[in-house]
């Protein structure tokens, strides 16, 4: 049965709700997953695949994309589901502009209204020029231009008294 809507994100206009659940009576359920509910159409769609733990879903205002965190191999990755193709890009959000996968943990996704840009945090050292510390920083991935931009410098540690 519908047991545990663990995390929920709803748009203020009430058009879409995205949530994570382990319920067994939802469409496509084969374990924990992320679901998008279109309130106007009365339709629920599973947007994550596989049996990996998925967390922190966020939905684009127009309902065309959902971003969420996937727990993998002791770390985490950001994934994006696209409504137009009903496909999920598991790693493309957290790749550097030259295509390399992030070499650190990524989470805390936020999505633009039109679903074309994802902001997220990562400890990766290889996503953008100038970031080599391994300290959590904020990035924006443009899914159309296929670019990743460092938008916040990680805090630098200073020795007291220096």
Distance CA 37, CA 44 (A): 4
Q: What is the model's pLDDT at position 119?
A: 92
Averaged pLDDT for residues 92-98:
69
**Separation of alpha carbons 67 and 82, rounded Å:** 9
pLDDT-above-90 percentage for the chain = 3
Question: Higher confidence at residue 134 or residue 1?
Answer: 134
- Count other Cβ atoms within 10 Å, centred on residue 15: 16
**Tens-digit pLDDT profile for residues 111-149:** 898 888 989 988 888 888 777 777 888 989 888 888 888
- The closest of 83, 84, 80 to 92, measured between CA atoms, is 80
User: Is the pLDDT confidence value at 39 over 60?
Assistant: yes
d(Cα 65, Cα 45) in Å, to the nearest integer? 12
Q: Which residue has the higher pLDDT, 3 or 39?
A: 39
Beta carbons of 83 and 98 less than 8 angstroms apart: no
Residue-wise pLDDT tens digits, 56-67: 888 888 888 888
| pLDDT score at 148 | 87
């Amino acid at each position: 049965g519908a047991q545990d809507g663990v995390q929920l994100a709803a748009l203020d206009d009430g058009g879409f709700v995205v949530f994570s659940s382990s319920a067994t009576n939802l469409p496509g359920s084969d374990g924990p997953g992320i679901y998008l509910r279109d309130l106007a159409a009365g339709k629920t769609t599973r947007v994550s695949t596989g049996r990996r733990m998925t967390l922190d879903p966020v939905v684009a205002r127009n309902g065309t994309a959902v971003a969420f965190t996937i727990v993998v191999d002791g770390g985490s990755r950001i994934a994006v589901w696209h409504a137009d193709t009903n496909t999920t890009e598991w790693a493309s959000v957290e790749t550097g502009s030259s295509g390399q996968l992030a070499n650190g943990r990524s989470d805390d996704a936020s999505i633009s209204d039109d679903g074309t840009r994802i902001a997220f945090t990562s400890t990766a050292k290889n996503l953008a020029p100038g970031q080599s510390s391994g300290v959590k920083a904020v990035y924006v991935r443009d899914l159309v231009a296929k670019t990743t931009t460092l938008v916040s410098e990680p805090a630098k540690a200073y020795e007291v008294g220096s």
